[in-house]
Amino acid sequence: MNEIIPILDKIAFLAFVVATMFGTGLKLTVQQIWQPLRNIRLVVLSLLTNFVLVPLFVYLLLQVIPLNEPVKDGLIIMALASGPPALPKLAQIVKGNLAFSRGLMMMLMFGTVFYMPMVLPLVLEGVEVNSWDIAKPLILMMLTPLGIGLLIKAKYQDIALNLQTITFKISNFGLLLGLGVRLIVHFHEILILLKTGVIFVCAIFIIFSFTVGYLLGGPGIDTQRVLGVGTAQRNFAAALLIGTSNFDDPNVISVIMVTSLLMMVSVLILGKKLPELDQEQGGEIKQFEV
* Parent domain of 244: 4-289
Q: Which residue has the higher pLDDT, 248 or 122?
A: 122
Instruction: Please name the helix (run of DSSP H) or strand (run of DSSP E) that holds residue 82, with its range, or none.
Output: none
pLDDT at 126: 60
pLDDT, mean of residues 156-172: 88
- Count Cβ atoms below 10 Å from residue 289 Cβ, excluding itself: 6
Neighbouring CB atoms inside 10 A of 32's CB total 16
pLDDT band at 212 (very low <50, low <70, confident <90, very high): very high
Say what angle helices 98-123 and 221-232 make with each other, to 10 degrees: 30
- The percent of residues above 90 in pLDDT, for the chain, comes to 13
Number of separate domains in the chain: 1
What is the model's pLDDT at position 285? 32
Taking only the tens place, the pLDDT of each residue in 24-61 is 788 877 777 777 778 889 999 999 999 999 999 999 99
Residue 100 sits in a domain whose CATH number is: 1.20.1530.20
Residue type, 183: L
**Nearest by Cα to 254 from 209, 187, 208, 205:** 187
Tens digits of residue pLDDT in 248-287: 777 787 788 778 777 877 777 776 666 565 555 444 433 3
pLDDT, averaged across the chain: 80
- Please compute the mean of the pLDDT values over residues 188-215 and round it to a whole number: 82
